[in-house]
Amino acid sequence: MVSKALKPVAPSTSRTSYFISKLLSSTKDTKSYRPAPNSIEDIERDGVRHNALKLAFKGDFKAPLQRQLQAGGCEVLDIGCGSGFWTSDMATKYKLSYFTGIDADKSALPSKSRSKNIVYQRIDITELPLPYQDNQFDFVFIRSMTDFVPDEYWDKILNELVRVMKKGAYLECTEAYADLIDAGPGMKTIMKLVNTSSRSYSPPGSPTTPSPSQQNPLPNRIASISQLMEMRIEHTHTPVGKFGDAVGSLLAEYWEKTVQGSRQKWIRQKLITEKELDTAVEDMRKENETHKTYMSWYSVVAQKKGYKGPVIQFEDVDADNNYHILR
């Protein structure tokens, strides 16, 4: 066995606050901003993307919290969890920690969790403040949310997330860059439709949501928050198409699911005709292989300032990184 030192988060009262979260599970029906409900194709798309990013980033997360999660007692908040693909994977792997998944779309949330260490809640992150205590969570995770939350909300949301993070806790955000590399005309048509649809999610009376290329990226916003430190960004480029093996095949399927989930809406809104869409999809399939199209992603991690406690030593991790519960 080897000793592993970590810069920990503040001491946890996880079990207590986790069960408080279960009691506070939101079922209220407010009239504020909400995105359109997820379709079956949207849910399937999110599952495909989850598997692709897990391969692309070589794991579920980049924050240096594996030892703490394994040791147990950590509280994790998954923002925009959807059907809980990431939350469920994490809760299954780290059985001694506690996970809360929240989403504005109640219909997307799992009706029942297979794991006892997960709670799902219908919570809209644009409705602030969030129903959590100060300094509650050890880890806050956000993925693929910038298309669904209007740009002008993000500064307030990020500051609210910092409020509910413990001192020493980590915030991690994973997002795709707006533009694809070497996209053909068919893919560009689909991307334009997706971007137009995402801007239509803006709540009534709010400023027009800028196009993705005009949005202020989350790393810029996170860097400006004085309570956060040690920001690190990892970039990865993922193929879209069978030429890119497992990841490429998954992301090709992701774009197919994206079209399937929005097809009728785009046609109904007269953004494109059915014939034009069929042509664009067929062109996209061919172009992705011939052009070797890639998506670009970033994962940004930052830590909340203020922890001044001792460094925790883990003596129960063996040379193969296996965690053993001490009896």
Nearest by Cα to 147 from 209, 91, 94:
209
Task: Report yes or no on 57 lying in a domain.
Answer: yes
The domain of 216 spans 2-27+35-237+297-317
Whether 248 is covered by a domain: the verdict is no
Based on the number of CB atoms within 10 Å of its own CB, is 46 exposed (0-12), middle (13-18) or buried (19 or more)? buried
Specify if 100 maps to a domain. Answer: yes
Give the confidence band of 3 by pLDDT, cuts at 50, 70, 90.
Answer: very low
Do the beta carbons of residue 138 and residue 76 sit within 8 Å?
yes
Determine which of 14-18, 91-95, 113-117, 192-196 has the lowest per-residue pLDDT on average: 14-18
Would 13 be classed as within a structural domain?
Answer: yes
Assess contact for 300 and 61: CB atoms under 8 A: no
d(CA 277, CA 193): 10
Burial category of 201 from C-beta neighbours within 10 Å (exposed 0-12, middle 13-18, buried 19 and up)? middle
- pLDDT tens profile 243-278: 999 999 999 999 999 999 999 999 999 999 999 999
Angle of helix 274-291 relative to helix 185-199, nearest 10 degrees, comes to 120
Is 226 a domain residue?
Answer: yes
- Whether 6 has a pLDDT exceeding 80, the answer reads no
Asked whether the predicted pLDDT for residue 58 surpasses 80, the reply is yes
For residue 12, give the CATH number of its domain.
3.40.50.150
What is residue 8's predicted lDDT score, i.e. its pLDDT?
52
Percent of the chain surpassing pLDDT 90: 70
Domain-embedded: residue 280: no
Question: pLDDT band for position 2 (50/70/90)?
Answer: very low
Considering its fold, how many domains does the chain have in total? 1
Q: Does residue 212 lie in a domain region?
A: yes
What pLDDT sits at residue 308?
Answer: 79
CB atoms within 10 A of CB 231: 14
- Classify residue 271: in a domain, yes or no: no
